[in-house]
Structure 1
Amino acid sequence: MTALTFDTLAYVKTLRDAGVEEKQAEAQASALATVLKGSGEGVATKADIHDLKRDIELLKAESKKDLSETKAELIRWVVGIGFLQSALIIGILAKVAKVI
């Protein structure tokens, strides 16, 4: 994460030179330093974005692999059920043929 530097003494000096009272200038400098200290949080760096892109590519590759495995398993089930239905129909027809 990138650190943001803020010269509070120079800020107070600038405010004093502009006519702001010393206590008020110090209070403003302190408040602004607090705000700036927290402003860098949650900001993504180039390295963060690079890592995120790499993770996304890995997830895409895993998803494609999982999808192809799922398709193969589905095909096995469909073919198996097709054979089972065919055997059932042939068995029923054979039983009906014996009865007639």
Structure 2
Amino acid sequence: MMAASFDTHAFVKRLTAAGMPEAQAEAVTTMIREARDADLSQMATKADVAQLRSDLRADVSDLKADLMKWLVPLLLGQAALIAALVKLL
């Protein structure tokens, strides 16, 4: 599919005829041309976002498991140490 041409000169002329300064009209025209020419194939799709969300949830779940694996023994060890210190005093 071939994209329709964009006559930048005519667009600048229409903007300046409507009262816009020429420099500003050229800047607006340049931005519109760049937006039309942008490579949309690099943009994320809903499926990409859903996959990323799924991966992130899996990573968070793994992180929770690792945290619990280390935190519970540390808390039990700390409780045993405090109990031993209280018993000694």
Q: TM-score, normalized by length of structure 2?
A: 0.57
Larger Rg: 1
Q: TM-score, normalized by length of structure 1?
A: 0.52
Within 2, Cα distance between the matches of 1:27 and 1:87?
A: 86
Give the match for residue 28 of structure 1: 10
Report 1 or 2 for greater relative contact order, CA contacts < 8 Å, sequence distance ≥ 6.
Answer: 1
Q: Give 5+ residue unaligned stretches, structure 1.
A: 12-25, 93-100
Give the match for residue 57 of structure 2: 60
Q: 1:6 to 1:74 in 2, by over 3 A?
A: same
Within 2, Cα distance between the matches of 1:69 and 1:52?
A: 26
Q: 1:42 to 1:87 in 2, by over 3 A?
A: farther
Q: Give 5+ residue unaligned stretches, structure 2.
A: 13-25
- Count of paired positions: 74
Give the match for residue 48 of structure 2: 51
Q: State the Cα RMSD in Å.
A: 3.7
Could you tell me the percent identity over the aligned residues? 14
